[in-house]
Amino acid sequence: MTTDAVLDKVLSLSHAAVGGHLLSDADSLAAGIGATGWSRSIDGGHWHCPDESSWSLLSSDHAPNLAVFLTDEDAATVFTAGQELARRLDEFEGLTRHGADPGWPTWPLGDPRWAEWNGLGPDWVMWIGGPARISLNVSPAYQPGRYRSPPHLHFQIERLDTPSEGLPVDHERARRILRSGSPIARWYLAAENDLPQDVINALQRDDDTAVVAAVESGEKFRTMHAAAQEHMRRQEDLP
H/E run at residue 55: strand 55-61
Task: Give the DSSP letter string of 101-127.
Answer: --SGGG--TT-GGGGG----SS--EEE
Contact indicator for 29, 104 with CB cutoff of 8 Å? no
Count other Cβ atoms within 10 Å, centred on residue 104: 20
What is the distance in angstroms between the CA of the first residue and the CA of the last residue of the chain? 57
Q: How far is CA 127 from each of CA 86, 99, 109, 180, 193, rounded to the nearest angstrom?
A: 10, 8, 23, 35, 29
H/E run at residue 209: helix 209-217
Instruction: Render each residue's pLDDT in the chain as its tens digit; 239 residues.
Output: 467 899 999 999 999 999 999 999 999 999 999 999 999 999 999 999 998 999 999 999 999 999 999 999 999 999 999 999 999 999 999 999 999 889 999 999 888 888 877 777 778 999 999 999 999 999 988 877 778 889 999 999 999 999 877 889 899 999 999 999 999 999 999 999 999 999 999 999 999 999 999 999 988 877 775 566 665 667 667 66
